[in-house]
Structure 1
Amino acid sequence: MPKEKRPRIKNEDQYEALRDQGYSKEKSARIANTPDQVASKKGGKAPAYEEWTVKELYEKAREIGLSGISKLRKKELIERLRNH
């Protein structure tokens, strides 16, 4: 039986390790396809989610396609954004 069809993964070992840890297929692929130079850089200059307003958090969640967020509290919304 052929393997499940999926987009090309640049680092198969990393992808499989992430899947084994429970990451989604999408997140595993995104991380495994990130060039090493980008992945090794320290985070950007955006403020921590805790410093964002609830309105800004909702806008970001909608932008990345999260659903079921309308009744979440700020702390829950931050958790969903971080674990997307």
Structure 2
Amino acid sequence: MAGKRDETSDNSSLKDPELYETLRDQGYSKEKSARISNARANPDMHPSRTGGKSPPYEEWTKDELYERAQEIGIEGRSDMSKDELIDALRNH
């Protein structure tokens, strides 16, 4: 397909390259696309059933959000408001 990016050739550890490409086309980050596609390809994992165990970010304190942003390496977090931290975490 002309113009189609071929990121899967760069990452042979993908277990479901087709799903990865679909997620990337939908705007997901490379990291999130890889996690989702690999989890769905693993018969022992059920990503749709494992979510929802933590409270929504709106219920976290700003310090908790900051710590999570620090864990995953979100840049500029020290200047972000609580709402900006929530948005950055959701879009990472």
Deviation string for 1:2-51 (max 9, x for gaps)? x7422411111110101111222111111111136421205242111111
**In the alignment, what sits opposite 1:38?**
46
**In the alignment, what sits opposite 2:55?**
47
Q: Aligned pair count? A: 82
Task: Report 1 or 2 for greater relative contact order, CA contacts < 8 Å, sequence distance ≥ 6.
Answer: 1
TM-score with structure 1 setting the length = 0.83
The whole-number CA distance in structure 2 between the counterparts of 1:16 and 1:5 is 12
TM-score with structure 2 setting the length = 0.77
Structure ranking higher in helix proportion: 2
Structure 2 residue runs without a partner (length 5+):
1-7
Identity fraction in percent: 56
Structure 1 residue runs without a partner (length 5+):
none
Question: Match of 1:33, as an amino acid?
Answer: N
RMSD after superposition: 1.8
The whole-number CA distance in structure 2 between the counterparts of 1:75 and 1:17 is 29
